[in-house]
Structure 1
Amino acid sequence: MLIQTRRLTKRYPGVTALDQVDFDLAAGEVHVLFGENGAGKSTLIALLSGAGTPTSGTIEIDGAPVAFESVAEAQAHGIFTVFQEFSLIPTMSVAQNILLGREPRRGPFIDTRALKARAREVLAGLEFDLPVDQPVSRLSRAAQQMVEIAKAFVGAPRVLILDEPTASLSDHEVDHLFKFILRARARGVGIIYISHRIQEFARIGDRVTVLRDGARIDTVPVAGTSEARLVEMMAGRAIAEIYPKIARRPGKELLRVEDLRAAGVAGVDLTLRAGEVVGLAGLVGSGKSRLVRTIMGLQPPSAGRVTLNGAEITGLSTAAVMARGLHYLSPDRKAEGLILTRSARDNIGIDLAMSPAFRRAGWIDAGAVRRQVSQTAGRVELSPDYLPRPVSQLSGGNQQKVLFAKCFARPAQVYLLDEPTVGVDMGTRAALYQLIRQLAEAGNAVLVVSSDLPEVMNLSHRLLVMAHGRLRADLEGPAIAEDQVLKHFFDEAESEHAG
């Protein structure tokens, strides 16, 4: 085996983060690590990449025990990691970032021409088309990820660890990444791949190791292992228990959209009723997020009407739309949903502080806000220990719980949830799905926009399918089936191409 761990253990005061884990990786293999937040995945890759030292147990490379005191030592053995949070210097160029610390020199000076030539050589070898003079701050998320991977390949990696590499990528960018992974595997690189997206495993994975509560549950081949079995191993419960049964009690019409047009939206009609969960599915670029952002006043409409409880809200500001009873959950929690430098308590409380119910003689009733924040946090199963922490220090799942807490902090009638479970594990998803159930069964209308097809199919009373800015189908009951949904995805694409 290229790399192997034996009874690898990491303990911190009061907690065992990794408990006697056996793991191995062969050259030319993609080995998937799968588990909930807190399962031990991050701890395992930290130990393998030299970012931490084990309490007990061993790491072996080519059968020989090794002990890493630093990331540099792990890299010297050919182990490189591309973390979910990149370590790029935004103001520096692509070439400067790729060769940072390994710059070619002419005497005491950096040889700029040789630096660019070497960067182009590395990028060409990976089949990455990037401008070496461009500051990385101007690159897309996918292109920045390519720079991180190129940094690893300057050091000729034997082991490449990819931590949630597709979390912020479009379908096209994911396809490009997977082509690279398969090329690297063919060259004999061993790849450890960490992701919550089960549907990706069959495309690139050879084996899957499932971790739960710091322990290895099992290692199984990707071929022949069902998604349901993986979820059951990860969460300790069957997939049928992940998605709740949501009682359907359709009431009055709350939101009506008529012939709405905007950038990426080509004349959409839809209605949302109280007590109903409506799913909105579509490929990347279908217009589903643009539709929601237009309703919320985040991008201007060019035509059409939006009414809430019969009153027109077309073109109003986002603040005005929210004040009238719409709530929006952004798919980008870091850029739009949360104030990362503020505590979880402050993020939840900011909406409460704006409500007249928490003001006394013009002043904010801080005590009442604090009590309500604690109550709301409990409702979304956010630990009280996390409330004083900056949300930047919370896991993705707990950040998403803070976003959902904001849903409950300010009263609304219609909830537009765009990618509500992005980047969180199945156990946290199950908790968030229960919150969606609570919102709907309390008499609110909920629109769930998601690129995760099983998610929208299992949660929705009605499922809308969108392609090329238009609604292509409104499905209910037995019609909510994967073949039906995909047919409307691709029928539209083919008709547009033919036209």
Structure 2
Amino acid sequence: MSSSTQPGPAEGLARAGAEPARAQPTLLRLEGIVKQFPGVRALDGVSFELRPGEVHVLFGENGAGKSTVINIIAGIFPPDEGRYTFDGQEIKGLTPFKARQLKIQAVFQEFSLVGELSVEQNLVLGREPTRRGAVDRRAMREQATAIFRRLGFDLRPDVLVSSLSRAQQQMVEIAKAILADVRVLILDEPTASLTDSEAERLFSIVDELRGQGVAIIYVSHRMREISRLADRITVLRDGRHIATVNQADVSDDRLIELMTGRRVDILFPDIPATPGDLTLEVDNLTLADGRVQQASIKAHAGEIVGIAGLVGCGKSELIRAVYGLAEVAQGQAVYRGKPLRVKRPIDALDQGICYFPSDRAREGLALTRPIRENASMAALRRPEFSRHGILRRASENAVVKRIMEQLKLRPPNIEPQVGNLSGGNRQKVLLARGLARPVEVFMFDEPTVGIDVGAKLEVYEMMRGLVQDGKTVILVSSELPEVMGLAHRLYVMHDGKVVAHFEREHFSETAILSQFFPRQDSGTALEEAAP
């Protein structure tokens, strides 16, 4: 695949080492797979094949059917029609347990860890090492230590999973899958919560597994990862198989065109800034847990303010504190010239401030409830939705349908359970919640994590519409190109502190990245970009 960055020697070796996979017989094959959910035809005659020793990327917009394909392969649910063949044998009645017996392991976006157990217990759950009829805790610890050393992950085996960050839980899921004896490994957006160095280590492990003959299904929307890893790419659109291509034979632009069915020339839309009144000011904010220290930012109506930095720098914690999700030790947030009094999120919502969390499944959505209820739940006390404590169902339907049409929900049905939706459609449901009531300040925390290029464009267009309407947008993102491409002003955080502020005309990747790792002698003072 063509790219502006040429592969280095190690990547060239990885590509050369992958060539023999093309001569291998097919290990896993899906033929004419159909899967229907209530109101949704998720797969319509999809075929897919996987060979030993290859990395086969599944590529497509959210809602294209990627998640449904890998869930069928992993035995989460059965196909309604079609044929599933593994190692020459037709498979029927597959369950997750039987899939593991076939040595099919999956790492999904939604984690399957037990929070009340330790990291090492989660790693070997269901296949615990034993000695004389009892769990061999020493062997369990040795296995955990060895796999973390191999992966380069800095994790303690003895801590509870519930105490870990999302990025750390992602590491545990990856280690758990690789620790098992595996023939097929499914990786669904595995780098979404990892730092660049952790992701590079994962790529090396993928190369190693491929060299051992493991067949890998890799789901990602990041073009750099696809260029780095893929042997073949299967493109899905609207539940149908569009094409299967060799990675070396297709350009980024062509892949996006296959995925969306349209040409995408510019990823980040032009969003003119029309800065108005100062709406939100954070003044010397320090959190009780110390994750944010003396942080100050300003945001005006009619602009996008970006906050960038490495994972764990405090950027997410800062806006969570504004929304009442973290305890403030000192400092304050000021909204339209008055101190913001927020004890819980509903207080922020009532004053016109909305927060969209990065972890949609755990914090943002009720997965077992329909789209309609998720979109309206934060606005039920408003007269459009209820009167005298009684829900106005017809009005609720009309309002939510209008919002979801605006966000281009596909398919346009507001009754399916949110848990059955793709990542991109889940994000749209979450965004709808902020449009269901009057909001002036929209705080986005990693809004495009785990969603495809087409869905990203729709999120960006929504941000443009908000800015044109005079709203304030605060964007927290770990994707530097994204925050540089959208923000009119940009703050950089490091170790809980705001260390730099850039106006758009002074944006430079080199200058901004240098503030991700500030000099030891730079102190804690904010560095303003020089004109």
- Normalising by structure 1, report the TM-score: 0.82
Aligned residue runs from structure 1 range 419-458, under 5 A:
419-458=446-485
Residue 260 of structure 1 corresponds to 285
Residue 112 of structure 1 corresponds to 134
Match of 1:166 among 191, 213, 221: 191
Shift of the 181–250 alpha-carbon distance from structure 1 to 2, 3 Å rule, reads same
Residue 17 of structure 1 corresponds to 43
Shift of the 40–272 alpha-carbon distance from structure 1 to 2, 3 Å rule, reads same
Residue 107 of structure 2 corresponds to 82
Provide the C-alpha distance between the structure 2 equivalents of 1:158 and 1:173, rounded to a whole number of angstroms: 23
Deviates more, 1:29-38 or 1:431-440: 29-38
Provide the C-alpha distance between the structure 2 equivalents of 1:435 and 1:144, rounded to a whole number of angstroms: 31
Provide the C-alpha distance between the structure 1 equivalents of 2:331 and 2:292, rounded to a whole number of angstroms: 11
Provide the C-alpha distance between the structure 2 equivalents of 1:311 and 1:338, rounded to a whole number of angstroms: 31
Provide the C-alpha distance between the structure 2 equivalents of 1:6 and 1:327, rounded to a whole number of angstroms: 45
Provide the C-alpha distance between the structure 1 equivalents of 2:345 and 2:102, rounded to a whole number of angstroms: 52
Q: Unpaired runs of 5+ in structure 1?
A: none
Percent of aligned positions that are identical = 39
1:207-227 deviations in Å (ceiling 9; x for gaps): 444333421434233x79664
Shift of the 41–366 alpha-carbon distance from structure 1 to 2, 3 Å rule, reads closer
Residue 60 of structure 2 corresponds to 35
Is the Cα contact below 8 Å between 1:345 and 1:373 reproduced in 2?
Answer: yes
Provide the C-alpha distance between the structure 1 equivalents of 2:110 and 2:387, rounded to a whole number of angstroms: 43
Residue 251 of structure 1 corresponds to 276
- Cα drift, residue 363 of structure 1: 5.3
- Cα drift, residue 441 of structure 1: 0.7
Is the Cα contact below 8 Å between 1:123 and 1:130 reproduced in 2?
Answer: no
Aligned residue runs from structure 1 range 124-273, under 5 A:
126-127=147-148, 141=166, 152=177, 156-169=181-194, 174=199, 177-213=202-238, 214-221=240-247, 227-262=252-287, 263-273=290-300
Q: Unpaired runs of 5+ in structure 2?
A: 1-23, 526-531
The aligned amino acid for 1:9 is G
Provide the C-alpha distance between the structure 1 equivalents of 2:318 and 2:130, rounded to a whole number of angstroms: 53
Provide the C-alpha distance between the structure 1 equivalents of 2:123 and 2:205, rounded to a whole number of angstroms: 17
Residue 416 of structure 2 corresponds to 389
Provide the C-alpha distance between the structure 2 equivalents of 1:206 and 1:226, rounded to a whole number of angstroms: 14
Deviates more, 1:129-138 or 1:345-354: 129-138
Shift of the 388–124 alpha-carbon distance from structure 1 to 2, 3 Å rule, reads same
The aligned amino acid for 1:269 is S
Is the Cα contact below 8 Å between 1:349 and 1:370 reproduced in 2?
Answer: no
Provide the C-alpha distance between the structure 2 equivalents of 1:331 and 1:462, rounded to a whole number of angstroms: 21
Shift of the 310–90 alpha-carbon distance from structure 1 to 2, 3 Å rule, reads closer
Residue 406 of structure 1 corresponds to 433
- Cα drift, residue 8 of structure 1: 2.7
Is the Cα contact below 8 Å between 2:120 and 2:158 reproduced in 1?
Answer: yes
Is the Cα contact below 8 Å between 2:404 and 2:412 reproduced in 1?
Answer: no
Is the Cα contact below 8 Å between 2:280 and 2:333 reproduced in 1?
Answer: yes
Provide the C-alpha distance between the structure 1 equivalents of 2:118 and 2:310, rounded to a whole number of angstroms: 33
Is the Cα contact below 8 Å between 1:2 and 1:190 reproduced in 2?
Answer: no
The aligned amino acid for 2:43 is A
Counterpart secondary structure, 2:482 = helix
- Cα drift, residue 288 of structure 1: 1.4
1:319-372 deviations in Å (ceiling 9; x for gaps): 333322212112222232223333322222223222256554565544433432
- Cα drift, residue 131 of structure 1: 7.1
Is the Cα contact below 8 Å between 1:10 and 1:17 reproduced in 2?
Answer: yes
Shift of the 416–190 alpha-carbon distance from structure 1 to 2, 3 Å rule, reads same
Match of 2:310 among 283, 297, 317: 283
Provide the C-alpha distance between the structure 2 equivalents of 1:389 and 1:194, rounded to a whole number of angstroms: 24
Shift of the 160–400 alpha-carbon distance from structure 1 to 2, 3 Å rule, reads same
- Normalising by structure 2, report the TM-score: 0.78
Shift of the 187–346 alpha-carbon distance from structure 1 to 2, 3 Å rule, reads same
Shift of the 76–216 alpha-carbon distance from structure 1 to 2, 3 Å rule, reads farther
- Cα drift, residue 25 of structure 1: 3.1
1:93-115 deviations in Å (ceiling 9; x for gaps): 66665555556779xxx82245x
Counterpart secondary structure, 2:31 = strand
Provide the C-alpha distance between the structure 2 equivalents of 1:41 and 1:312, rounded to a whole number of angstroms: 46
Shift of the 16–293 alpha-carbon distance from structure 1 to 2, 3 Å rule, reads closer
Residue 330 of structure 1 corresponds to 357
1:61-120 deviations in Å (ceiling 9; x for gaps): 4xx5654542556555543333333445555666665555556779xxx82245x46645
The aligned amino acid for 2:214 is V
The aligned amino acid for 1:112 is A
Is the Cα contact below 8 Å between 2:63 and 2:425 reproduced in 1?
Answer: no
Provide the C-alpha distance between the structure 1 equivalents of 2:42 and 2:365, rounded to a whole number of angstroms: 30
The aligned amino acid for 2:34 is R
Shift of the 2–489 alpha-carbon distance from structure 1 to 2, 3 Å rule, reads farther
- Paired positions, count: 489
Provide the C-alpha distance between the structure 2 equivalents of 1:243 and 1:401, rounded to a whole number of angstroms: 18
Provide the C-alpha distance between the structure 1 equivalents of 2:250 and 2:520, rounded to a whole number of angstroms: 33
Provide the C-alpha distance between the structure 2 equivalents of 1:24 and 1:343, rounded to a whole number of angstroms: 35
Residue 503 of structure 2 corresponds to 475
Is the Cα contact below 8 Å between 2:384 and 2:396 reproduced in 1?
Answer: no
Match of 2:407 among 371, 374, 380: 380
Shift of the 5–20 alpha-carbon distance from structure 1 to 2, 3 Å rule, reads farther
The aligned amino acid for 2:416 is R
- Cα drift, residue 272 of structure 1: 1.8
Provide the C-alpha distance between the structure 2 equivalents of 1:297 and 1:158, rounded to a whole number of angstroms: 46
